[in-house]
């Protein structure tokens, strides 16, 4: 912990005592979950460094940006079109939190029966333990689920929040509404930054974000190979870091990692034996440092080969389609791309089971684990239709409902081991 960092955190009004406790807890968990893995790609060294300095260097970059008049825009959902933020010269940063540490802080205000992701994120603000929240000039929320929607109203009492209306259906009327929301968001960001979003700037931002999506697609494509050249834990970490690292640097680091994985594939080198059970996880997102399920699965000898989630395929599968440099057409292409995210907030949302079936085949998954955070009603309910669909397809599925605490780890381990035993070749 450098003096510089402490000064920066003090300037950001961080509660230093709680913050110390948070960082001190993270180190041993990272050691146990990540650094104990054997045969990791050397390219993961970058991600280890990022986690080792999680509240240091990147926050410093955001502060430098702010010193020159730049803005930082925080988000909680992959529906917020980050292209518009970059195009206005601001920096987007994903804020979702995946730690139990801040959950009790949030429970002083929010109902206990709220999902851990919402509580953890809100607790970060209430407890003043997250420098990314503190460094943001605007938080952008969305109307995806009721828990988040109502949390944003309370969060707005602490920090400026702007909420985008995400429709709940996929009809033409909903698409029109969403298109209007994207246009309105452009105006909000222009007002915040004082910068006009030009077609040229927007084209550059579209290329920037598409570039990162392509790099993540490349990483995930490499996970389709048997034996798989990278663990699910490492792939998850690389994806999680993409939510807050600089997009250009992130793309470069992802591609460097993929170059190394290409060589592993060519040499037939895997992180697990070729016959290790291959698992696809589908459901709620896993924000950093939520590595709980992956750790249990991979400690039991299986390997996670894909995540159908917003910290997985939903984050990068679709690109913004190329258009002429014309603002209206670019905004339509952006709105169309984001409406194609099959979040459980939509009704109906039959495209999601379709995706899972397709992904299970592409990634040669032996089984699917349907993961929902406790009190997340949208994903919990979709688990029913997902089970029906996968049964028809002959794909074994295990339903997992959990939170961020370790209380149920033993019980989960037992259920997961039994499932793996059943699907073993």
Nearer to ligand BJ8 by Cβ, of 138 and 310: the residue is 310
Nearer to ligand BJ8 by Cβ, of 261 and 280: the residue is 280
For residue 200, the minimal CB distance to ligand BJ8 (Å) is: 29
For residue 47, the minimal CB distance to ligand BJ8 (Å) is: 21
For residue 378, the minimal CB distance to ligand BJ8 (Å) is: 5
Secondary structure string (H, E, C) spanning the chain: CCHHHHHHHHHCCCCHHHHHHHHHHHHHHHHHHHHCCCCCCCCHHHHHHHHHCCCCHHHHHHHHHHHCCCCEEEECCCCCCHHHHHHCCCEEEECCCCCHHHHHHHCCCCCCCCCHHHHHHHHHHHCCCCHHHHCCCEEEEECCCHHHHHHHHHHCCCCCEEEECCCCCCCHHHHHHHHHHHHHHHHHHHHHHCCCCCHHHHHHHHHHHHHHHHHHHHHHHHCCCCCCCCCHHHHHHHHHHCCCCCHHHHHHHHHHHHHHHHHHHHCCCCCCCCCCCEEEEEECCCCCCCCHHHHHHHHCCCEEEEEECCCCHHHHCCCCCCCCCCHHHHHHHHHHHHHCCCCCCCCCCCHHHHHHHHHHHHCCCCEEEEEEECCCHHHHHHHHHHHHHHHHHCCCEEEEEECCCCCCHHHHHHHHHHHHHHHCC
Nearer to ligand BJ8 by Cβ, of 139 and 373: the residue is 373
For residue 399, the minimal CB distance to ligand BJ8 (Å) is: 15
For residue 335, the minimal CB distance to ligand BJ8 (Å) is: 15
Q: Are 257 and 299 in contact (CB under 8 A)?
A: no
For residue 20, the minimal CB distance to ligand BJ8 (Å) is: 28
For residue 144, the minimal CB distance to ligand BJ8 (Å) is: 3
State the pairing for strand pair 278-283/91-94.
unpaired
Nearer to ligand BJ8 by Cβ, of 5 and 349: the residue is 349
For residue 311, the minimal CB distance to ligand BJ8 (Å) is: 8
Nearer to ligand BJ8 by Cβ, of 148 and 212: the residue is 148
Q: Are 59 and 132 in contact (CB under 8 A)?
A: yes
Nearer to ligand BJ8 by Cβ, of 5 and 282: the residue is 282
For residue 401, the minimal CB distance to ligand BJ8 (Å) is: 11
Nearer to ligand BJ8 by Cβ, of 166 and 261: the residue is 166
Count Cβ atoms within 10 A of the Cβ of residue 1 and give its class: 0-12 exposed, 13-18 middle, 19 or more buried: middle
Instruction: Tokens for 36, please give them.
Output: 């104990």
Q: Are 281 and 311 in contact (CB under 8 A)?
A: no
Nearer to ligand BJ8 by Cβ, of 60 and 149: the residue is 149
Report the interface residues with ligand BJ8, using CB under 6 A: 77-79, 115, 117-118, 144-145, 147-148, 284-285, 310, 341, 343, 345, 373, 376, 378-379
Nearer to ligand BJ8 by Cβ, of 9 and 404: the residue is 404
Rg over alpha carbons for the chain, rounded to the nearest Å, is: 21
For residue 291, the minimal CB distance to ligand BJ8 (Å) is: 16
Nearer to ligand BJ8 by Cβ, of 78 and 91: the residue is 78
């Amino acid at each position: 912990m450098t003096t510089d960092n402490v000064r920066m955190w003090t300037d950001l009004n961080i509660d230093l005592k709680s913050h110390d406790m948070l960082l001190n807890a993270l180190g041993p968990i990272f050691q146990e979950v990540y650094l104990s893995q054997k045969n990791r790609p050397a390219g993961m060294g970058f991600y280890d460094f990022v986690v080792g300095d999680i509240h240091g260097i990147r926050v410093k970059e955001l502060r430098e940006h702010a010193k020159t008049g730049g803005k930082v825009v925080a988000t909680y959902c992959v529906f917020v079109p980050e292209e518009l933020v970059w195009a206005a010269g601001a920096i987007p940063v994903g804020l979702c939190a995946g730690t139990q540490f801040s959950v009790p802080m949030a429970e002083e205000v929010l109902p206990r029966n709220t999902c851990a992701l919402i509580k953890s994120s809100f607790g970060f603000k209430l407890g003043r333990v997250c420098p990314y929240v503190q460094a943001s000039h605007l938080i952008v929320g969305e109307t995806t689920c009721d828990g988040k929607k109502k949390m944003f109203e309370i969060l707005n009492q602490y920090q400026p929040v702007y909420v985008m209306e995400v429709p709940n259906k996929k009809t033409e009327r909903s698409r029109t509404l969403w298109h209007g929301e994207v246009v309105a968001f452009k105006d909000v960001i222009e007002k915040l930054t004082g910068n006009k979003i030009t077609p040229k700037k927007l084209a550059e931002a579209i290329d920037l974000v598409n570039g990162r999506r392509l790099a993540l697609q490349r990483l995930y494509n490499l996970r389709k190979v048997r034996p798989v050249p990278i663990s699910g834990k490492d792939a998850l970490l690389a994806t999680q870091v993409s939510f807050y690292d600089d997009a250009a640097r992130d793309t470069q680091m992802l591609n460097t990692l993929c170059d190394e994985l290409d060589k592993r594939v060519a040499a037939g080198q895997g992180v697990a034996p070729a016959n290790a059970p291959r698992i696809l996880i589908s459901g709620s997102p896993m924000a950093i440092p939520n590595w709980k399920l992956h750790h249990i699965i991979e400690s039991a000898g299986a390997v996670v080969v894909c995540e159908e989630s917003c910290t997985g395929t939903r984050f990068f599968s679709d690109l913004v389609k190329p258009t002429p440099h014309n603002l209206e057409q670019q905004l339509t292409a952006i709105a169309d791309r984001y409406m194609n995210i099959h979040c459980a907030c939509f009704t109906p949302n039959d495209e999601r089971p379709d995706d899972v079936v397709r992904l299970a085949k592409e990634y040669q998954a032996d089984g699917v684990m349907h993961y929902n955070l406790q009190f997340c009603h949208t994903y919990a309910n979709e688990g029913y239709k997902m089970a029906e669909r996968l049964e028809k397809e002959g794909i074994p599925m295990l339903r997992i409902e959990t939170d961020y605490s370790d209380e149920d780890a033993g019980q989960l381990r037992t259920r997961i081991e039994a499932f793996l035993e059943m699907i073993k070749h």
